[in-house]
Amino acid sequence: MSSASRRADEDSRGSEAENRAPNAPSASPEAADPPARAPFAVLTILAAAGIAALIASAFLPVLRISVDERVATALDRSGWDQHGAALVALALFAAALLPLAARGNAAAAGAIALTGLVAIAIVIATDLPDVGDVGSVGSQLDDGKVGTGLGAYAETLGGVLLLAAGGLMALRARRD
């Protein structure tokens, strides 16, 4: 068979990829059906939002002190004041694991969920006991009241998002 007739014959059949059956398995697991990968993409975005919320909570006021119904912003306690670098370290740990979890690694996703659980435990153990406290706040204030600031909501949201996204990613990875 001449090379010209062979080319004409190949052109009429199309390329090998075009002739493959629509349900034929792909050679690469990374080239999975896009709708099947969609839950991991959504959960990855939620986990990233949780990481951002934990980092933001370090710089936002977690506890706000008010005296006579007026907030004394100079006495705000940020997440860094309350927890040091703990929540930032948890967020960075989760960020390091996120690429693995996004690829379907169940252990990494489980570790992200555990990170969220630890963040929630820190919030419950250190911040919640102070909220609503009335009485002496500092040496000059006799009747101060401790309330929550935006940072308290950010650290709680970050922990919940990491727990939920990591847990769902782990379940999905084990199922696949």
Q: What letter represents residue 125's amino acid? A: A
Q: Give the domain ranges of the chain.
A: 37-62+83-129+150-175
pLDDT at 156: 93
Provide the β-strand partners of residue 61. 78
* Averaged pLDDT of the chain: 78
Which whole number is the average pLDDT over 98-117? 95
Of the two residues 62 and 101, the one the predictor is more confident about is 101
Residue 6 exposed, middle or buried by CB count within 10 Å (0-12, 13-18, 19+): exposed
pLDDT at 26: 45
Residue 116 has pLDDT above 90, yes or no: yes
**pLDDT band per the 50, 70, 90 thresholds, residue 27:** very low
Task: Annotate 63-101 with b (16+ C-beta within 10 A) or e (fewer).
Answer: bbbbbeeeeeeebbbbbbebbeebbbebbebbbebbebb
Which whole number is the average pLDDT over 63-92? 80
* Separation of first and last alpha carbons in the chain: 48
pLDDT at 151: 87
Task: Indicate the helix (H) or strand (E) that contains 29.
Answer: none
Q: How many other C-beta atoms can be found within 10 angstroms of the C-beta atom of residue 152? A: 24
**pLDDT band per the 50, 70, 90 thresholds, residue 29:** very low
